[in-house]
Amino acid sequence: MKPGLRHETEDCRAVSDILGRVGDKWTVLVVGFLSSGPMRFSELRRSIGGISQKMLTTTLRGLERDGFVTRTVFPSIPPRVDYELTDLGHELRVPVNALGEWARLNMARVKQARERFDNAPSEQSTPVARTAARQATR
C-alpha cells in the first residue's frame, strides 16, 4: 500500500487505512472478543483459538497504536496485561458490525455465486450466455 496510491484523495487513503487495519486477518476477531469487556492476553489467545502469540501481539500493538485498545500492565508476578477497547474502539464497532451483519445476511448469496463461478465451464459460454447469466443473478 506504499506506492501507487500517492495521488489518491484524502478520503480514499483514510478508507484504505482503516480497511487495512480492520481487514487484516485477526483484528475483527480481537475487537469482537474485547467488545464485552477487558481481557488479558492469554484469555484472548485461548478465546480466539487459531492465533499465534506473535500475531496476537502484533494485532494488539496495531490496535493500541491506532487508539482502539488500551494496554494495562499490572506489575504482579506472574505478570498480567489487560486489553480493553477505548471509546474509539467501541465506536469503530458500529460500522464494523454493520458490515458484519451484512456479511451474515448475504453470505449465502456469496457462497452461491462462488459455487456457480467455480463450476463454470471455464469460458465455453458465448458472451450472450454470459450476459444471460448476469441477468439471472439480478
Could you give the angle at the alpha carbon of 21 between the alpha carbons of 56 and 43, nearest 5°?
A: 25
Out of 34, 87, 122, 124, point to the residue binding a copy of itself (CB under 8 A).
87
Strand partners, 73: 81
* 46 touching a copy of itself, by CB under 8 A: no
Alpha-carbon radius of gyration of the chain? 21
Q: Mapping DSSP to helix (H, G, I), strand (E, B) and coil, where does residue 74 land? A: strand
- Of the pair 6, 138, the CB lying nearest DNA is at 6
* Residue among 97, 64, 94 at smallest CA distance from 82: 64
Cis, bond preceding 78 (omega within 30 deg of 0):
yes
Partner whose binding site includes residue 72, from DNA, a copy of itself, none (CB under 5 to 8 Å by kind): a copy of itself
Examine residue 39 and tell whether it contacts a copy of itself (CB under 8 A). Answer: no
Q: Are 22 and 91 spatial neighbours (Cβ–Cβ below 8 Å)?
A: no
Contact between 75 and DNA by CB under 7 A: the answer reads no
**Position among 35, 43, 46, 109 found at the interface with a copy of itself (CB under 8 A):** 109
Residue 78's binding partner out of a copy of itself, DNA, none, with CB under 5 to 8 Å set by partner kind: DNA
Interface with DNA (CB under 7 A), residue from 12, 13, 25, 113: 25
> CA 89 to CA 60: how far, in whole Å?
12
Positions touching DNA (CB under 7 A) are 3-4, 24-25, 40-43, 45, 50-55, 57-58, 60-61, 71, 73, 78-81
